Amino acid sequence: MSTPEQARPADRRDLGTGPLLRAALGRVSQRLALAGVPSPSVDARALLSRAAGDPAHLLLVEELPEGFEAVLEQLVRRREAREPLQLILGTAPFRRLELEVLAGVFIPRPETELMVDILLDHARTAEVAQVIDLCTGSGAIAAAVLDEMPRVRVLALERDPRAAGLARCNLAAVDPARGEVREGDVRTAALPGPVDAVLSNPPYIPAGQVPREEEVLRHDPELALYGGGEDGLEIPRAVLDRAADLLRPGGLLVMEHADVQGPATRELAHASGSFVRVRTQRDLTGRDRFLVAVRGRDGSAGDGSSRDERMSA
């Protein structure tokens, strides 16, 4: 799992080359570096843009806007305290979208974006009309599918009311007609089927494996982090069970997991007797990241599902 500060800043435009801006950028970058922020220069640029109100104003500026320093100081102090950059900015980038974020809701991570690419690859050779996103959180995956697959309908499920409300906002911003968010637990919620794909980034951190990043510890909700049980796979197991029930034969399952959980999740898929073509997909850093499997016909899961495969991104 990546940390919030590793995500791309919301604004990627150059801040200009004026001496006032260079001085401010250097000063803020140094402060953030001393505070232990892993990407001080990138974050400093994003904070300067936000302090200006209109980032484009900074391109050729000779004088800093009135009140700029006071606003910037407030923003920098929040980042020095290791509040995630996305919460300070109020948005997080995810593929082609800028998603709203809220305190207390899991912040979307860049590596999760690859899940949509896996679905798009599958859709080149299979019909995809109905998709379910389990444990949707902010709705990042569901919103990206709506955005990039304009004929697909998406149902997103989330048990936390605050996160479900945020997901509704993010899906409605893309297409309120094709996206729906339901509040409920993945283990018990009534869901329609059969569907063509089930995607999920469930909680999966094992018990006792406390995140080291301050941003995660202080700001990501435990409900979205810990998967249950000593191995962290209680909720991922439930996702697999629901996917087996919801998917039509030939339907796709893509589930994110910790980089050490590839063998265990493949074994769970094999043991279910429901999936074929079970493999692990690596993320862009080369780490095991996604369980990918296809729903077989009843009684046919032994055909090809016994092979463990790892695929690079």
Q: Which residues are annotated as a binding site for S-adenosyl-L-methionine?
A: 158, 201
**Which residues participate in the annotated binding site for substrate?**
201-204
Q: Confirm if 224 and 134 have CB atoms less than 8 A apart.
A: no
The 8-class DSSP code of residue 205 comes to B
Q: Measuring CA to CA, which residue among 133, 134, 141 is closest to residue 99?
A: 141
Strand partners, 205: 226
Q: Confirm if 289 and 281 have CB atoms less than 8 A apart.
A: yes
The 8-class DSSP code of residue 59 comes to S
Q: Which residues contact 177 (CB under 8 A, 6 or more apart)?
A: none
Q: Count the neighbouring beta carbons within 10 Å of the beta carbon of residue 66.
A: 8
**Which residues participate in the annotated binding site?**
158, 201-204
| Residue 154 φ then ψ, to 5° | -130, 130
